Each structure stands twice: as structure tokens, then as C-alpha cells.
Amino acid sequence: MRIAVIGGGPGGLYFAYLWKLRHPEAVIDLFEQNPEGATWGFGVVFSDQALEFLRADDPETVDAIAPRMESWRNITLNLRGESVEIDGVGFSSIGRLELLTLLQARVRGVGVTPRFETTIDSIDRLAGYDLIVAADGLNSIVRRAFEKEFGTSVAYSTNKFAWYGTTKTFATLSQTFVTAERGTFNAHHYRYSPSMSTFLVECDAATWNAYGFEHKSIEESQVICEEIFADTLDGHKLISNKSVWRNFPWIWNERWSHRNMVLIGDALHTAHFSIGSGTRLAIEDAIALTKALEAEADVPSALAHYERERKPVVKKLVTAARTSADWYEHFPEHMKLGLMDFTYSYITRSGRIDDARLRAMSPQFMARFEASRRSA
């Protein structure tokens, strides 16, 4: 089988690696428009559950990645100068570039040589392939060329966010909510190496307009964010990497394949960064597509199998992500709650965690929360 993979992000790299590992005779061409060593953003997060899912299918890759990860068991929320920890919520993180480098090494190890700085600007260039895997992200050329056929919908959250890094390291995945002079801000921050952290700044549209960010340069916006989160950064600076203000894009496709073309990762669907599942979903898509291709006798049947088996799983997680994003679009209102009620609202925001599960998962937090209710 001749396969073209468009996009050298985690999903595209992982599919190329997994298929070539299991089918050494396959011819796989992987095209990536950016130079080797280039990426945007900083760290990416995996829940413990996501790592266990990956380990079940490919323990060797997890063993290669895990030693380079930072891990923690709690989430910390900071509000009005007070902090509370939610215990029992395990996550690990790694630098996006480091993850890509590790996956590139595994791809090369099975005999696939990524073609960097190669832009596929027309589907016509891909004639002759048995399968085209579109792992080319938010602006996928395959999806945009056949939006009607895929049943594509695109919408945007109203909040604005900018993705920074910092040399300030944090003990856990943390969120800091701040009331500033002209509005409210939230920072999602966590370490992804012993010396670096992701620091994603978010605000609602009213705050963004009040600060005139539309007319500010990247450097000017960065200075304002550093001032607003000065206590959190503790003397450290923010670091920019294409850190422009953006609205989160919601991408969904009712049909996941067209002819011999199939979508995976952000080309297919997006899940809000507040649940940290974009990279996980892309890798799990690659696993599901591999299994579907192995389960069926021909490509059309395999692509139908992939959508049939994977779609309900993804839809459930994307629905939870939308519910989570809705909570963030109203976080200035939530900030009016007391610290414990605010934290309870936060941890139950996606609708996937009820009191019974919270007692089992986070007994220390739940005991503190219930005690606060009794004393109110």
C-alpha cells in the first residue's frame, strides 16, 4: 500500500510510525510544510488515563517518552490570593518540540523519512496513492478542498487567549484567576521541563477590548500580561512563540473520509485546551485508523470502520470539551463565588464528574469542600 501522510504533527508522525512498524512493506511519504525543529507553542499535557491508553497499544513509545515528562498528582487553583489543591488528578507534560523530536526518531527508526519544508498546495499532487491521511491541522488543505463532502462546520469561542512560555516552574497544573484594572484574566500554567512552563493567558471579549489588545503588538501584549500576572510569575518573564491573541476554533466534520482521503487530529475535530486532549485525540485517532485498516479488506471499508468505531468516543469527549469551554466563557461570573464553591464549580464543569466520583478521586478536596458547606 502507498500512503501519503500530510502533516508532521503528533498524529501524522504517530500514524506513519505505527503503520510502518506493523507493515514494513508499505510505502509511506510524510509531508511537513515547516522546517525540522520548528513548532509553535510550548508544553502539551497528557492525563494518566491517556498515557495508559497509549501504553496498552504501544508500551515502547510510552517508555521512550515518559522519562522526559514532568508529572504531578494535583491541580492548584489560585483566586483572590488564596489557593486550593484538588488531589488525585494525575497529569504529565512534555515540550511539544521534544515530543515531535522523539516521534520523528521513531518514524525514522522504522524506515520513514519525513519530507520537511514540503507544502502540499494541491490534492492533485497526491495522485497515485492508495490512501491519503490528512493530519495537517486546523487549516487542513484536504478538509478545505472538500468541506461539503466532509460536512465541515467551523465556529469560534468568544474568549481570547495567547499561548506563552516562562522560565518560572510550577509544582502542579495550576490556574490563576485575576481581577485587573479593566477586566478579568485567567492563566493556565504548568511545567513541561525542569526549567520551563506553559503559560496560557485567557480573557473574555470585554476585557480584551478594554485593554485595546486589538491594536497592541505581540510585545506590548506580553508586557501587559506580565504586569497582570506579576505575582504569579515571581520576577520571571513571559516568552513568546507566535503568541498572538486568538479565539479557539471549533472544528467538526460529520463525515470523516472522502474517496481515499481521511482526516485525523485537528484537521478532523478540535477539543478545547481546558481539558488538554488535542494531542491525545490525534494519537488515538492514529491508533484507531491503524486498527480499522487492519480489520478490513479494502480502504473504503476500513475508512467506514474507522468512523463508525471512533466517532462516538470522540463526540463524547468533544461534548465535554464544549461544556468546559462554556464554563470558561463565564469565568468572571464564577469568580464571584467563595473559594471552595468556585473550585467545586471548576472541577465539575464538564459534566463528567459527580459527587460520588469526586469523593473517590479527590477525597481530600471533597472532605474540605463538604466541611465548608456544613459550616456555611
Residue 194: exposure state from Cβ atoms within 10 A (0-12, 13-18, ≥19): exposed
**CA proximity to 161, closest of 38, 44, 281, 274:** 274
pLDDT in tens, 2-40: 999 999 999 999 999 999 999 999 999 999 999 998 877
Q: How far is CA 17 from each of CA 34, 103, 108, 110, 166, rounded to the nearest angstrom? A: 19, 8, 8, 7, 32
Q: According to the model, what pLDDT value does residue 41 have?
A: 78
**CA proximity to 313, closest of 293, 287, 274, 347:** 287
pLDDT in tens, 227-236: 999 999 999 9
Cβ atoms of residues 94 and 70 within 8 Å: yes
Q: According to the model, what pLDDT value does residue 278 have?
A: 87
Q: According to the model, what pLDDT value does residue 353 have?
A: 86
Taking each helix axis from N to C end, the angle separating 96-109 and 10-22, rounded to the nearest 10 degrees, works out to 20
Domain spans of the chain? 2-39+96-155+248-328
What pTM was estimated for this model as a whole? 0.94
**CA proximity to 248, closest of 138, 331, 348, 143:** 138
- Indicate the average pLDDT of the chain: 95
Cell of 111: 524506515
Sorting pLDDT into bands at 50, 70 and 90, what band is 303? very high
**CA proximity to 295, closest of 2, 54, 10, 22:** 22
Cβ atoms of residues 91 and 189 within 8 Å: no
**Distance between CA atoms of residues 86 and 347, nearest Å:** 8
Q: According to the model, what pLDDT value does residue 54 have?
A: 86
pLDDT in tens, 46-56: 888 888 888 88
Class of the domain covering 2-39+96-155+248-328:
alpha beta
Say what percent of the chain tops pLDDT 90: 88
Residue matched to cell numbers 467551523: 154
Side chain identity at residue 127, one-letter code: A
Q: According to the model, what pLDDT value does residue 113 have?
A: 95
Query: Rounded mean pLDDT of 333-341?
Result: 96
Sorting pLDDT into bands at 50, 70 and 90, what band is 376? low
**Distance between CA atoms of residues 92 and 45, nearest Å:** 6
Say what percent of the chain tops pLDDT 70: 100
Q: According to the model, what pLDDT value does residue 37 have?
A: 84
Cell of 262: 481521511
